[in-house]
Amino acid sequence: MIKLRRKVDIQTFEVEGTIARGQERPEFLAVVRLAADLGRPINGEDVVRELLGNLPSQIGWRVIERCIQLGLLERDGNKGSATLSDAGRKALEEDMILVPEEGLWRIYFAEDPLLDSPVVHIERFEGVKAYEERNKLYNGNGNRDTDTRIPPQISRALSQTEFFTSIVNGNLFQILELAKSGFKAETKEIYLLLEWPKDGEPSVMLRGKLNRHVSQKGLLEVDHKLQLPLNLEELSYEDLWIKLAAHGSGQEESLIQRYFDEERVLILPTPFDRTLGESEKLTMKKDISVSSISLTSYTESRVAFWQPAEEGKDFNLGRFDETILHQVDLVPMNDDEATKWCQWLQMQAIKSYQTPESLEQTRKEVMKRFPYHQPNPKKSQELLEIAMENSKSSVSRFLLAPYDLGLWRD
């Protein structure tokens, strides 16, 4: 499993405005349903004939007009007729209509490449009384609370058509109109987690807690699964693993990639030297610490692990905190290294009295651990010679004793 994490600064801006939130409006949903089911532009006469029979004719036209105002229908251009809009379709899916509400809003926003939109949540709040504000001003407090123009991240979100999903409750909302200035409140950190099981689908989560407006009690719990960015869908687990492994180990990415291309395995070529601990040499596995990494495109790469979503736009997962790739399979860098490793493993395997037959058995087993190399392991006689040369070594006695007892036969 690949686990990547980073902090996301959620900024807040308090401003007056009109934001549409989901409400049940079955009477208008029926009109939307009609437009969907008829599958053609509808006009006021259609609405009266098909849905509101017996009511005055102008009600049909006004209902169409109202649905257009609510964004559920789009004007067709043909004398007042209208067709189903994306918002209308969405409303049918959600069984809700976004209805404009005027008031004071605390808008939570962040900049992160994995967020579809910078605006991640809105909370309506009631202000304290004006006289309390005045008292603060008269007492010399409050003068420093300067008004700020709307941050660009939020202005970009102002639209009649774009929907946002709250990371707190998953509800849809739409920012329709905001005053030009408001109050920049505090910033709070939450975490973005990208988790990718080896044989599963990746997921991107936001987790943490957000403050509410001072007049409101409690914290807002965030545990929200983000929609996967389109360009993440183009990325494979292996691509990302290779990138991380290379970054963590300092190994050339092309080398790791080559193993994957040729052998379809995710392994890390590693020099057989002091950098490896004894257990890592034995298990041929290692936890790889990956320092903070920015996963962005570099188009000159031979193997691009991403596919640009749009022409001219590079893939960008953003910078993650340091992480660990657990129990990465290791392989030697080449046959010589493999031979050294192999012979070292042969020696490590001698933990009891050995005969040439048992040593041969061990050799075969050790050889199996180097499927991608041709190491040259020691033969039993060579091992015996080494033991004879270093007779005081603790391993030597496991070979010399059986030899002295005549258990070694030609």
Partner 1 sequence: MSKQYYMGLEGVGQWQQAIKQVGAQLRPYQDFLKTAIEAEKERKLVLGWRKPEKEEEKIFEERLEQRYQQKLERAKNARKRRNRKKPVKPSGQWIVLEPPPWRQEEPDDTFDAFLNCTEVYDDESCRKDFFIRKVDFDREGRAILLDELPDGDLIWLRPNTYTLDRQLHAVWDLENKPSSRLAPLVRLTSTSPIWSDVDVHEIADGDWMFLKTKNDSPVREGTDEQRRFVAIAMATPDFALLEGPPGSGKTTAICELIAQLVLQGKRILLVASTHVAVDNVLERLLEHQDDHSDESLFLPVRIGDEGRVTSDGIIPWIYKNLLHTWRSELLDFLDDPGDIDPAGNEARNHLRRTLKGKEGAASIERLILESANVVCGTTIGILQHPAIKASRNGQSSEPFDIMILDEASKTTFTEFLVPALHAKRWVVVGDIKQLSPYVEESELADNLRGLISDKQASAAVHAFLAAPGPQRHPFLRTLLATDENNHEIAVAEASARNAHFIDLNSCSEISLNGIDGCIPELLYADLVIGNAGVINSFEHRLPIDLQAVGGELPALPGWEAARQAYRTSEGKRRKRRIFEEDEPIWGSEMAWRLIRSYELRQNKDERKNYEDQIQALIPKALEENDRSDKRRLRNGESPQDALLREIRTVRRVALPSILELLQTGFERLEKQRDAVALTDGLPAQHLRKRLVSLSFQHRMHPHISAFSRDQFYTKVEPLSDREAELHKIMESSSLLRDSKAVLSAWEWSYSRYAKRALWIDVNPKGGGKRRGNINTSEADIVLKELLAFVKWAKDNPRKDRQKWEVAILTFYRGQESELRERLQEITGQYGNSRNFHLPKGKATVHITLCTVDRFQGHEADVVFLSFVKSGTTGFLNSPNRLNVALTRARYQIVLIGHQTYFKEQNKSQLLKELANSKHYASDISWG
Site for partner 1, rule CB under 8 A: 14-17, 24-31, 33-34, 37-39, 44, 49-59, 61-63, 65-66, 68-69, 99-104, 126-134, 137, 142-143, 145, 147-148, 177-183, 214-215
| Shortest distance (Å) from residue 28 CB to partner 1 | 8
Nearest Cα to 99, choosing from 71, 63, 133? 71
How far apart (Å, rounded) are the C-alpha atoms in residues 103 and 182?
12
| Nearest CB to partner 1, comparing residues 128 and 401 | 128
| Shortest distance (Å) from residue 255 CB to partner 1 | 57
| Shortest distance (Å) from residue 10 CB to partner 1 | 18
| Shortest distance (Å) from residue 126 CB to partner 1 | 7
| Nearest CB to partner 1, comparing residues 128 and 407 | 128
* CA distances, 104 to each of 63, 126, 236, 408 (Å): 29, 7, 44, 91
| Nearest CB to partner 1, comparing residues 48 and 342 | 48
| Nearest CB to partner 1, comparing residues 99 and 333 | 99
φ/ψ region of 107 (left if φ > 0, alpha if ψ in -120 to 50, else beta) reads beta
How far apart (Å, rounded) are the C-alpha atoms in residues 219 and 10?
14
Q: In sequence order, which ranges of 179-271 are alpha helices (DSSP H)?
A: 230-233, 237-249, 253-263
| Shortest distance (Å) from residue 27 CB to partner 1 | 4
How far apart (Å, rounded) are the C-alpha atoms in residues 282 and 300?
38
- Phi first, then psi, for residue 336 (nearest 5°) are -60, -45
* CA distances, 196 to each of 22, 199, 303, 343, 396 (Å): 33, 8, 21, 37, 47
| Nearest CB to partner 1, comparing residues 59 and 230 | 59
| Nearest CB to partner 1, comparing residues 27 and 273 | 27
| Nearest CB to partner 1, comparing residues 132 and 273 | 132
| Shortest distance (Å) from residue 68 CB to partner 1 | 8
Nearest Cα to 239, choosing from 191, 269, 292, 202? 202
| Shortest distance (Å) from residue 20 CB to partner 1 | 10
| Nearest CB to partner 1, comparing residues 130 and 405 | 130
| Shortest distance (Å) from residue 156 CB to partner 1 | 18
DSSP helix, strand, coil percent of the chain (3-state; round to 5): 35, 30, 35
Residues 6+ apart with CB under 8 A from 11: 108, 109, 110, 151, 184, 187
Look up residue 379 and give its two tokens: 């033969």
Q: Determine how many CB atoms are found less than 10 A away from the CB of residue 26.
A: 9
| Nearest CB to partner 1, comparing residues 53 and 250 | 53
| Nearest CB to partner 1, comparing residues 145 and 189 | 145
Element (H, E) at 5: strand 2-23
| Shortest distance (Å) from residue 167 CB to partner 1 | 22
The torsion of the CA quartet 288, 292, 296, 298, rounded to 10 degrees, works out to -70
Residues 6+ apart with CB under 8 A from 98: 20, 21, 22, 23, 70, 71, 87, 91, 163, 172, 173, 174
How far apart (Å, rounded) are the C-alpha atoms in residues 265 and 267?
6
| Shortest distance (Å) from residue 58 CB to partner 1 | 4
